[in-house]
Amino acid sequence: MNTQELIKIEDDYFINTFTRQPVVLDHGEGVRVTDIDGKEYLDMFAGIAVNALGHNHPKLVKAIQDQAEKLIHISSIYYNEPALIYAKKLIDKTSFDRIFYANSGAEANEGAIKLAIKYTGKSEVISTIESFHGRTSMTLAATGHADYQEPFKAILPNGFINVEYNNIEALKEAVNENTAAIIVEPIQGEGGVNVPDIEYLKEIEKICNENDIVFIVDEVQTGFGRCGTLFAHELFDVKPDIMTMAKGIGGGVPMGGILATEKVASAFVPGDHGTTFGGGPLVCAAANAVLDAIDEENILDNVNEVGEYFMEELKKLDKEIIADVRGKGLMVGLELTKPGAEYVDKLREAGFLINCTAGNVLRFVPPLTITKADIDEFVKALDEIL
């Protein structure tokens, strides 16, 4: 079947939820993906900041293959070695004490909010406008987008307050004796790659400590090296009570998780939360391979070096249409003075995959293995197209 025939199957049979780019991708290698017609693209999007190691990474593929031959799924009723090994390996690298394995970012956030509610016995959660935390009813209530919430207002839980991002006074005003948790992205992704002031997270930590509020960082998009440190909150020198993760954790296999301090984690007892698939051997084998590769292949150094170079090159583009260049590591946004959708199309036609978020921010979240030569190729094309 050709591209048009395949896409028609979605039109005819899928529940209509996504606006997709009109390409059917077939295979990938490193930072390149190829569609069914053999056209190659430089992947500056990495499956929405997921393919941290790029495509067809030999160690990741081998880890998945080897594990698939042994055991794919056993449920949460039994122990499996990859999940146990991974928990210790990851926690040793962070300020947290305990892990819960989930399957997606939304599910991780849902569990994190439940944990904060159970720990504090309180009922309100503060999140930020333009944030993104997921599409389940509780995470949708936390996601500060009135347009996403509007059709489902009738079933959204009470107790969620959305305040302006990077505005500590707005947060202080919203805090009250019922506040259980404050949840923020260290850098907002879907909201337009918004980097807060350096003291913002520190101030949140202080408010939380003073009022016995649970501080949750949503690192679903920023985690696993994306911003140049293993987790982006490290850049702000804070120790949150809970961190949620997904996307890059498994390098492409669907996985998520919650990390929490001993104090907060102890609020959950058996029966409070669970999942059939979470922490399965297959995804945990993949996660082990990703974490090992981040260390063994000096991925963080690459993110910092190439990320800085990328931002410098973008800042050199002298175009009236560019309103701002911002980001950290390999999470970069180019704000335009007009809607960005047409540039996504033009770049795709020229062989580059990107996306546009918040209407006018071109977002670049390539594999963390990307090189300066790839960046040169991309920036040249972007320059011509803009």
Residues that bind ligand PLP (CB under 6 A): 48, 104-106, 109, 132-134, 185, 189-190, 218, 220-221, 246
Q: Which is nearer to ligand PLP, 215 or 374 (CB)?
A: 215
Nearest approach, Cβ of 297 to ligand PLP (angstroms)?
24
Backbone phi, psi, residue 29, to 5°: -150, 115
Q: What minimum distance in Å lies between the beta carbon of 2 and ligand PLP?
A: 30
Amino acid at 311: M
Question: What is the smallest separation between the CB atom of 92 and ligand PLP, expressed in angstroms?
Answer: 24
| Least distance from ligand PLP to the Cβ atom of residue 132, Å | 5
Nearer to ligand PLP, 30 or 240 (CB): 240
Please give the DSSP secondary-structure letter assigned to residue 105.
Answer: H
Residue closer to ligand PLP by CB (options 220, 382) is 220
User: Residue 317 CB, nearest distance to ligand PLP (Å)?
Assistant: 26
Comparison of 185 and 374: residue with beta carbon closer to ligand PLP? 185
Nearer to ligand PLP, 104 or 360 (CB): 104
Q: Between β-strands 242-245 and 40-43, what pairing exists: parallel, antiparallel or unpaired? A: unpaired
* Residue pair 357/335 in contact by the 8 Å Cβ criterion: no
The minimum distance between CB 32 and ligand PLP, in angstroms, equals: 23
Task: Return the number of the residue (99 or 245) whose C-beta is nearest ligand PLP.
Answer: 245
Instruction: Please give the Cα distance from 376 to 195 (Å, whole number).
Output: 24
Residue sitting closest to ligand PLP (CB):
105
Structure tokens at 243: 């961190």
Q: What angle do CA 237, 185, 60 make, to 5 degrees?
A: 90
Distant-in-sequence, close-in-space partners of 48: CB < 8 Å, separation ≥ 6: 221, 247, 355, 365
Q: With contact defined as beta carbons under 8 Å apart, do 285 and 68 qualify?
A: no
The total number of residues shown for the chain amounts to: 386
